[in-house]
Copies of this chain bind each other. A is one copy, B any other.
Amino acid sequence: MTLKAVLLILDGLGDFQYRKLGVKTPLEAARAKNLNLMAKTGETGFMFSIAPGVIPGSDTAHLSIFGYSPKKYYFGRGLYEALGAGVELKEQDIAFRANLATIENNVLVDRRAGRKSDFLKSLFEELNGISVEDVTIIAKHSSEHRGVVVLRGPGLSDKISDVDPHKVGVPISYCHPLDDSEEAKKTARIINHLMHSANEILERSKNNALRKDHGLLPANALLLRGAAKYHTAEPIYEKTKAKFSCVAGGALYKGVAKFVGMDVVDVPGATGDKFTNLRAKLEAAIKAKENSDVVFLHIKATDSFGHDGDYVGKKQFIEKVDREIISGLMKNFDVIVVTGDHSTPCKRKEHSGDAVPLLIWGENCRADKGTFSETNPSPTLFIRGEDLINIILNKIELLKKYGE
């Protein structure tokens, strides 16, 4: 019988202890008896998902962890968001990560329209299919305030500036070409036109009237970032001869998984937020096991609590994961890997370049003396993200010997 592995990524798991002795990180403070049991009977250590000190984005981190060097395979966030949102991209398409946002007198007042997603799906649909010059706009909602915009038409370029100013209190930026090509000039012109048209359409939409009735900020501006051309990569099955499935809520993670050729499972209730249905994800992972050797299971909320600076929330969510997922994984998989894609320390409220704790448990694993923790006193593994897949395939005996 073949061995099956699950790779559980708790997004932004790594943390600090606030420079005080005796203060624990959220992971260390969490009462997590299943994780602790695995640490006692498995291997532990640290992983830099890209390289020591490098501050990974979620996109670059996952590429690296899947064995696709971001130096070679990172083409801008729009590509992975579009794939994850289920847009079928074509050659020549230019894809963007899109937020619906709120402007007042042309000044950006909320980059996420108050983080209230009511009616946003319909608003994205109103933008879908409009034309600017000879270019068609594909707009699709993914989750919360997030969505995807794709420009489809001849002679477009990804060499254009972002219009998202990444802060409030300023106007949305004009888009300008980043090189001298006609393609970049045309694309920038179309984006600027689109910003204007989108604002008009959104302003007069019934859906925004409904949002106002509900006391919500209007979603009256389209914020684009991460322009990316369509690219493909050698499928992970071709590279490894192992079958991978993805169980994730967020579009980005599904998109990176799709980009590398994983089988992406749709899980109702897997929202990629703090209220995601963990039990549904566990069940989906167990089901995905039937048709794959390795199941990639992504959980986002640890990162969101880090961004919010919510230490207690992060700790309690780790406890929830331990309670609702870990023991189920232990019963159903031969090899379990638990780690983060990067650190999102509550004190920093942003990603950091610090190593994430790493835990490998199950068949062919040694029982070392370490703990699953940022201050593990006896780590036996120090790896980079690019090595993780080989380590998993070695444990489930799917690697061929290199040489004789």
Contacts and interface: CB of A to CB of B under 8 A. Distances in A.
Interface string A51-85: 11111111111000000001000100100000000
A378 interface: yes
Interface of A: 16-17, 19-21, 25, 40-41, 46, 50-61, 70, 74, 77, 97, 225-226, 345, 347-348, 350-355, 362-370, 374-384, 387-394, 397, 399-404
Given A19-B362, A54-B390, A368-B375, 5 more contacts: A20-B367, A51-B390, A74-B403, A351-B401, A352-B364
A52 B402 contact: no
Nearest to A350: B401
A338 to B, nearest CB: 17
Contacts of A397: 348
Given A375-B366, A375-B369, A380-B46, A353 B403 contact: no
As for how many copies of this chain the complex holds, the number is 2
B380 A355 contact: yes
Given A369-B375, A382-B382, A55 B402 contact: yes
Given A19-B363, A21-B41, A367-B375, A402 B60 contact: yes
Contacts of A59: 403-404
A378 B77 CA distance: 38
Sort A-B residue pairs by CB-CB distance and give the 4 closest, nearest first. Answer: A57-B403, A53-B390, A60-B403, A353-B394
11 contacts: A19-B367, A53-B390, A54-B394, A55-B401, A56-B402, A347-B364, A350-B401, A351-B401, A354-B366, A368-B375, A374-B380
Interface of A is mostly: loop
Contacts of A41: 19, 21
A152 B365 CA distance: 47
Given A19-B365, A19-B367, A379-B380, A393 B57 contact: no
Contacts of A399: 53-55, 353
Contacts of A369: 375, 377
Contacts of A376: 368, 378, 380
Contacts of A70: 402-403
Nearest to A397: B348
Contact of A50 (B17, B54, B402): B402
- Select the residue from A46, A55, A345, A387 with max chain B CB neighbours within 10 A: A55
Nearest to A383: B52
Nearest to A362: B19
A17 B402 contact: no
A40 B58 CA distance: 32
